[in-house]
Structure 1
Amino acid sequence: MSETSDVASVPDSAASTVRREAHLATYSREQINQVLDATHLAHVGIIAADGRPTVIPTLFGREGDVLFLHGSVASRLVRTLADGLDCCVEVTLVDGLVLARSAFLHSMNYRSVVVFGRARTVEASEQLHGLKVISDHLLPGRWEEARQPSETELRQTCVLALSIDEASAKIRTGGPTEEELEDIALPIWAGEVPIHTSWGTPVPASDLPEGIAVSDAVRAGLRRR
């Protein structure tokens, strides 16, 4: 099982220290965890065996100060990280467009986290637990509703664990800034356009037998949204 650190901030490092727009950065574990928990998809950056930088999207889940990453045993991601090589994991939430009068000063409101480190392949005894953490992150309660993984499926699946020991968040809010006085006087609309992610009406699978209702986990997820 994973443990949660009682240290309020993640120690900054040469890799995780934000230099560009450093005033937007935070190393607070609480804020880092909030961004991670609000995101469904992570992008993992690696240097593959052929020397090429590669970014791979994957499902993930967080428990305490550990990220669990989902992968296939045959994937380039798993093969690379199983060798003990460094990686970085990035997530981003886009919260709005920031429209200035100057095209140069346009921006976005966002929340992002980057985690650096070396992932490990979890032991067989921890694999099911890691998969449940990932499933609960995708939709809490779905693990208990669904059929459990078969032995064949488990042999094809790898769960990687990455400690959140080297990480930073970057968060931007608010409207356009740093505009010149002469630009402010221009008859051009400026401000923010919020962007929200919402859940739609569930669409049943084409082969779903009649009479099977939307599950409790899905209904609970819709209420939370």
Structure 2
Amino acid sequence: MKPDAPSPRTQIRRKPQRGHYDFATIAAIVDAAQICQIAFNEGGSVHCLPTACWRVGNHLYIHGASNSRLTRTLSGSDCSVCIAHLDGLVLARSAFHHSMNFRSVVIYGRFIAVDDPEEKKTVLAAFVEHISPGRSALVRPASTAEVAGTAVLRLSLDEAAAKIRNWGVDDDAEDLDIPVWAGVVPLQVVAGTAIPEAGCAEMAKPAHRFPQTAEYESAP
């Protein structure tokens, strides 16, 4: 049995059978992301800005310059965060039933500033590991001045919901004999060939987390 939504605003009402509220599903979708979209209110205007993100434990983290508009506005303010992965084009026999396979998460809450310098160093190292596993042990760590000039914010994943579509075509029975191809065209993010800086051509290429593929299931 699926767990209930953690709050009324996370309750998925449109196609609720696609909703997931368990931590493992939410964490997996967050971990597959490099970028999130943050919606927030500033001075009576609603904004939505993209920024890099990563997860440590039960929190989503972002970072930026200490004096940046985004980090100053978000600290302690209500916001929502969206992460989405496009996994496939679902091509049906009718135009109406074309769809897309996807994994998405929406998180509600308030970002809290991470002020302790040692904690900031730890989560920033985790960010480097998220981008390129094993790299934090190879590069120069952030200096005291660099840590001081970087704002790190965390957002609890306690109020989050995932929505997933990962199956094939839902054509109507009367359309099944239409002589046109129907099925799923899988999509994935794939890293290209690494381009070295001068003097780095003979060095080992960095690790990365791509491709990120999704499994397909039968329709619910």
- In the superposition, the TM-score normalised over structure 1's length comes to 0.85
Structure 2 residues not aligned, in runs of 5+: 214-220
Return the letter of the residue paired with 1:193: V
- Provide the C-alpha distance between the structure 2 equivalents of 1:142 and 1:57, rounded to a whole number of angstroms: 24
Aligned counterpart, 1:152: 145
Aligned counterpart, 2:216: none
SS state of the match for residue 27, structure 2?
helix
Given candidates 46, 66, 79, the residue that maps to 1:73 is: 66
SS state of the match for residue 182, structure 1?
helix
Return the letter of the residue paired with 1:32: I
- Provide the C-alpha distance between the structure 2 equivalents of 1:135 and 1:22, rounded to a whole number of angstroms: 36
1:134 Cα deviation after fit: 1.6
- Provide the C-alpha distance between the structure 2 equivalents of 1:28 and 1:102, rounded to a whole number of angstroms: 34
SS state of the match for residue 95, structure 1?
strand
Structure 2 counterparts to residues 161-200 of structure 1, below 5 A: 161-177=154-170, 179-200=171-192
1:180 Cα deviation after fit: 2.8
SS state of the match for residue 102, structure 2?
strand
- Asked if the contact 1:46/1:77 (under 8 Å) is kept, the reply is no
1:106 Cα deviation after fit: 1.3
- Deviating more after overlay: 143-152 vs 35-44: 143-152
1:44 Cα deviation after fit: 1.3
1:131 Cα deviation after fit: 0.9
Identity %: 37
CA separation of 1:210 and 1:91: change in aligned 2, threshold 3 A: closer
- The structure carrying a bigger helix percent of its residues is 1
Aligned counterpart, 2:88: 96
- Asked if the contact 1:10/1:166 (under 8 Å) is kept, the reply is no
- In the superposition, the TM-score normalised over structure 2's length comes to 0.86
Note if 1:135 corresponds to 2:107.
no
CA separation of 1:62 and 1:108: change in aligned 2, threshold 3 A: same
Aligned counterpart, 1:22: 16
Q: Cα deviation per residue 1:6-39 (whole Å; 9 max; x = unaligned)?
A: xx95852111111111100010111111111111
Q: Cα deviation per residue 1:70-92 (whole Å; 9 max; x = unaligned)?
A: 1222322211112x111111111
Given candidates 25, 36, 53, the residue that maps to 2:30 is: 36
SS state of the match for residue 104, structure 1?
coil
Structure 1 residues not aligned, in runs of 5+: 1-7
- Provide the C-alpha distance between the structure 1 equivalents of 2:12 and 2:195, rounded to a whole number of angstroms: 42
- Provide the C-alpha distance between the structure 2 equivalents of 1:71 and 1:174, rounded to a whole number of angstroms: 38
Aligned counterpart, 2:203: 213
